[in-house]
Amino acid sequence: MQGYLHIGGNEYGLTHPVPNDAETIQWRVGITGKETYHRETLSLGDVSVAIYIHESLTLAQAVAQLFEHYKAWAVNQPGGRQ
C-alpha cells in the first residue's frame, strides 16, 4: 500500500507520496528551505500505523495534536457532539 505524507498547519491540504521504507522525509519549503519528518510507529494491541512527525515535535506532542484534530473533526460532523 502506498504511504503518504499529509501536511497540516500553514501547509494544510498538501499530500506527498513516500516510499514504504523511508525513515526520514524532507519537504521543500520556499526556495532553499526544507522541513524534516521522522517515521514513528503508533500501535495498540496488534494494530499499528506508521506516521511521520515533524522534527520539532516529540511523539507525545504529535499524539496530542492528533487527538485534538480528531476531537475537532468529530464535533463538526453531522450529528456530532455540540
Domain ranges of the chain: 3-75
Amino acid 1: pLDDT:
66
For the range 67-73, what are the long-range contacts, defined as Cβ-Cβ under 8 Å and sequence gap of 24 or more?
Answer: 69/8
What is the pTM (predicted TM-score) of this model? 0.68
Mean pLDDT score, 36-60: 89
Reported confidence tier of residue 11, pLDDT bands at 50, 70, 90: low
Q: Does residue 20 register a pLDDT over 90?
A: no
Q: Which residues pair with 40 in a beta bridge?
A: 51
- Taking CA atoms, 82 is separated from 31, 32, 35, in Å, by 43, 44, 36
Average pLDDT over residues 33-56: 88
